Amino acid sequence: MRIIIEIIRDHIRYRKQILKLAKSDLVKTYKGAALGWSWSVLKPAVTIGIYYFAFAVGLRRNAPIAGYPFFLYLLCGLVPWFYMSAMFTGGAKVIRKYGYLVTKVRFPVSVIPTFASLSQLATNIFITILMLIVFLIYGQRPDIYWLQIPFYMALSFFFFTSWSLFAGLVSVVSKDFMHLVESVVMFLFWTAGIFYDVSGIKNITLRKIMMFNPVSIIVNGYRDALINKMWFWERMDWLRNYVILLGLMLILAMWAYKKLIKTIPDML
């Protein structure tokens, strides 16, 4: 409880700095590039185009799913993934990246993952709005289920901000951990159901295991909101898995913070 109170107090005390640093991080990402902010759209658009071509043209998997075009189904998987993939790898590097804030400014370590996560989330919100516009272009009318998108964004934010605190601290101590993270990210990507429906896997044991993939939970939530037209409380098994994963991640983050917080400044 002492650690939790300390982290909450740091966030309250530095709340204005969190927003300023999140904005600064967002600006630095595209500063100096000729196309500037356009890259926030161009990079995801190219990625989506490549995967769509590979699956729809190359593998000829372009049949509608649940009555929706495959392209819209793919968007529901890739758009939330852009934020999650950035946080998986970027979150593990975040404390080392902003080490000068700890060593020179004496900025609280616990706050660093939060403003980095907010920066990535802001970009993803913009991409999500564009995704909804694409749905409108395809003739899909907004409905009350769309209101769940901010809810799933919040779930993603809380989990991956906690992950960043844990992974960011551990990666400062061990460079091998960063290599492990980069390897695991691709495994999570291909087992998350971004290109297929995890719920449709016939092997019950394998399906239950894959339902504990945090990426699967968020992707499934987006599809429930935009395609399946289901409320989050109708998927209590997914919500239960998320609560378990978030609880474990918070415990790991608190453990890493307690063990490493005193030695991190020297290691940086």
Q: Where are the domains of the chain?
A: 2-267
**Tokens at residue 86, please?**
């950035």
CA-CA distance, 219 to 213, in Å (whole number)? 10
Model's pTM, two decimal places?
0.87
Residue 256's CB is within 10 A of a number of other CB atoms, namely 19
**Tokens at residue 225, please?**
């909101």
Confidence (pLDDT) at 35: 53
Confidence (pLDDT) at 187: 85
CA-CA distance, 94 to 262, in Å (whole number)? 18
Confidence (pLDDT) at 96: 86
CA-CA distance, 193 to 49, in Å (whole number)? 18
Mean pLDDT by 10 residues, the chain (268 residues): 79 82 74 58 77 68 74 89 90 85 79 89 90 90 92 94 92 83 85 80 81 90 91 89 93 89 74
Confidence (pLDDT) at 226: 92
Please enumerate in sequence order all residues whose Cβ is within 8 A of that of 265, keeping only pairs 6 or more positions apart, or say none: 102, 103
Confidence (pLDDT) at 32: 56
Confidence (pLDDT) at 36: 55
Please enumerate in sequence order all residues whose Cβ is within 8 A of that of 12, keeping only pairs 6 or more positions apart, or say none: none
CA-CA distance, 162 to 168, in Å (whole number)? 10
CA-CA distance, 108 to 21, in Å (whole number)? 13
Three-state secondary structure of 176-207: HHHHHHHHHHHHHHHCCCCCCCHHHCCCHHHH
Q: Output DSSP code: residue 56.
A: I
CA-CA distance, 256 to 214, in Å (whole number)? 20
